[in-house]
Structure formats: structure tokens, C-alpha cells
């Protein structure tokens, strides 16, 4: 039988582990904030006689609005695609067609063509009669888009708590080592 003391992790190893875990939480926070700020609220406003502005907004910031003159706007259309889940079902998204390219008027695809078509009808009606009263519309999908960001932020918080706990253990262990070193040998 040996009378060796139980193995104890040295404070230096605990500090290295704590710093590593704390550093690991940083990318989780960065990705979480990036996903959380997905520009998933799209606002489209037209004034009587023009111009029209398209703005993309996230929870934390918003992009510089794009401004289109009536001459630049060619209309709107419904973009169709297949459901990514492998279903034999179409999904739809309203798109603004301009001389500068096409701009989605909704961040997420819609299951109902009617919903996407309402936006297209409003834009095309204004395009055909620009002297009609102006209008404003928006599609706000930030709640759906920010789910992934929220998961990353929660994971970052858990990793951060683990790192702080390891730091606390390392500090406690360092105090024990210093007390043992200061005590006279037995």
C-alpha cells in the first residue's frame, strides 16, 4: 500500500483550461450576434410620384436604405422555388424588379402564393399609377431568423459560465498551493 496524496490538478493547469474555455466563448458570442442581427425585416415605402425606399433591418442595426426612382422600378413578381424539405410543394417570395437588379421584399419564403402575391399586386398597382397615394409595407421575419443567434448566445453564456467556474477553482487552488508552501514542513 502506498500513502501517496490524492492527485490534485495544479492551479496553472486550471488557469490554462479556464483561459481556453473563456476564449472559446468569444466566437459563440460573435456568431450569435451576427445571426441575431440578420436583416430580416424588409420595409418598402413609396411616396406619391416617387421615390421608393427599400430598407433591411435587424434587431441591432439596419442597412442604409436603397432609394429607387420611378424610372428605375420595372415592377414586382412572385419568385417560385421548391420546398427545401423535399416536399413536392412550392414556396414563394415577392421580388422587386428594377434596372439595378432584383431585390427580395421578404427575407423568408412563404408557403402561400396569395401572401406573396398581395405584395406584388400593391407594388405593380403603384407602378402603373404613380400619382396614387403612397404606401408602405413590410415583412418582419426577425423572430424566425434570430433563433439560430439566440441558440449561439445561450451556448456562449454556458461556455462563459464554465470558464468563470474554472477560473474560480484555479484561484482557490492557487491559494491552497501558496498556503501549503508557506506552512512549515511537517
Task: Please give the Cα distance from 184 to 186 (Å, whole number).
Answer: 6
Q: How confident is the model at residue 185 (pLDDT cuts 50, 70, 90)?
A: low
3-class SS at 185?
Answer: coil
Domain range list for the chain: 11-36+148-177, 41-142
Q: So what's the pLDDT on residue 88?
A: 63
Tens of pLDDT, residues 100-117 = 999 999 988 888 889 889
Tens of pLDDT, residues 46-95 = 998 879 999 999 999 999 999 999 889 999 999 988 766 666 678 899 99
51 upstream amide cis, omega within 30 of 0? yes
Asked whether 167 and 12 are in contact (CB, 8 A), the reply is no
Start-end of H helices in the chain = 11-36, 113-128, 142-145, 147-182
Amino acid at each position: 500500500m502506498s500513502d501517496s496524496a490524492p492527485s490534485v490538478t495544479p492551479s496553472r493547469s486550471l488557469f490554462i483550461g479556464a483561459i481556453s474555455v473563456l476564449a472559446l466563448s468569444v466566437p459563440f458570442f460573435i456568431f450569435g450576434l451576427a445571426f441575431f442581427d440578420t436583416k430580416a425585416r424588409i420595409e418598402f415605402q413609396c411616396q406619391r410620384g416617387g421615390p421608393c425606399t427599400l430598407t433591411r433591418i435587424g434587431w441591432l442595426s439596419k442597412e442604409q436604405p436603397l432609394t429607387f426612382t420611378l424610372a428605375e422600378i420595372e415592377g414586382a413578381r412572385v419568385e417560385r422555388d421548391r420546398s427545401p424539405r423535399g416536399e413536392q410543394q412550392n414556396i414563394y417570395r415577392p421580388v422587386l424588379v428594377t434596372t439595378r437588379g432584383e431585390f427580395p421584399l421578404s427575407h423568408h419564403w412563404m408557403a402561400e402564393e396569395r401572401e406573396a402575391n398581395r405584395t406584388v399586386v400593391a407594388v405593380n398597382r403603384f407602378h402603373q399609377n404613380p400619382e396614387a397615394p403612397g404606401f408602405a409595407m413590410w415583412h418582419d421575419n426577425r423572430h424566425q431568423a434570430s433563433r439560430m443567434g439566440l441558440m449561439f448566445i445561450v451556448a456562449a453564456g454556458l461556455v462563459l459560465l464554465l470558464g468563470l467556474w474554472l477560473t474560480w477553482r484555479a484561484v482557490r487552488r492557487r491559494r491552497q498551493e501558496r498556503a501549503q508552501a508557506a506552512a512549515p514542513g511537517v
